[in-house]
Amino acid sequence: MQSPYTFLANDSPLIISIPHVGTEIPPYIAQTLTPVGQQLADTDWHLDQLYDFADELNASVLMANYSRYVVDLNRSANDESLYPGQTVTGLFPQLTFRGERIFESEAPNDHERQQRLKNFWQPYHDKLKLEIDRLKNKHGKVLVWEAHSIASVLPRLFEGQLPDLNIGTNSGLTATLSVVDAIEKSLKGCPFKLVVNDRFKGGYITRSLGNPSEGVHVVQLEMCQSTYMNESYPFEYRSDLANQVKPYLRNMIQSALDALNKS
């Protein structure tokens, strides 16, 4: 079995976590996918390519290798809803973001759920915590940038079209105001629309790990995929679009890191 994640180590107090970029699916699960499920539409496509400047920032990068259709790494192990009262996706998704069936088979039983948590979910979280501790011990503080992307229009999940860039810090609990202010100021004059703690306030990773009083700052960015790729199958990367948003993306992260270093 392939490793649950790919990790690239560096020494600055910055970790870029990409938990939904994986596309691997174990054969015994893949054989139960519907034709729609086989498209893996809800993948955070191409974020490894979009964030290829990470090494220039001396950032460590943790990327999932397995699809969120196996288990969603950004949900709690008990599958507690992050947005009570709203339509949400679960720890073991059965429907796509558009409401289509992912699998021909029934939902996994309790034994299978525990196996997926053990084999895919836990290793990612263990590695992320290990690296947070390593860099915090070295620098006294650390910034975790939770990198996500999503289709810009998904009526089942939200009304209308999402803003281009959606920052989440669980309403200010997972990163200091100075970090968020630096992100916002870095986009002054930017053609992309930014909102903070609006529809996306941060998933489980952001909410469970962010603790500024202990030196751990976590910021989630949910980007509209329309800013860098085609949103319809086969979901091609668009360099012409990506090259426009990339400088702003890099500047957001650098500005957040600079603010952290000054705090």
**Residue 180: which CATH number?**
3.40.630.40
Average pLDDT over residues 197-207: 95
Flag whether pLDDT at 186 surpasses 90: yes
Q: Report the domain count for the chain.
A: 1
What's residue 60's pLDDT?
98
CA atoms 208, 209, 213, 214: torsion sign: positive
Query: How high is the pLDDT of residue 84?
Result: 66
> 168: pLDDT confidence band, cut at 50, 70 and 90?
very high
In the predicted structure, residue 263 carries a pLDDT above the cut 90 = no
Sign of CA dihedral 225, 187, 83, 62: positive
| Residues facing 221 on adjacent strands | 147, 167
**Residue-range definition of the domain harbouring residue 83:** 5-262
Residue pLDDT, tens place only, 90-133: 899 999 999 999 999 999 999 999 999 999 999 999 999 999 99
Spatial contact of 131 and 216, defined as CB atoms under 8 Å apart: no
State pLDDT tens for residues 128-152. 999 999 999 999 999 999 999 999 9
The per-residue pLDDT for range 204-251, each reduced to its tens digit, is 999 999 999 999 999 999 999 999 999 999 999 999 999 999 999 999
Tokens of 222: 């949910």
**pLDDT per position as a tens digit, 66-76:** 999 999 999 99
Q: Confidence class of residue 89 from pLDDT cuts 50, 70 and 90?
A: confident
Question: Around Cβ 219, how many Cβ atoms within 10 Å?
Answer: 25
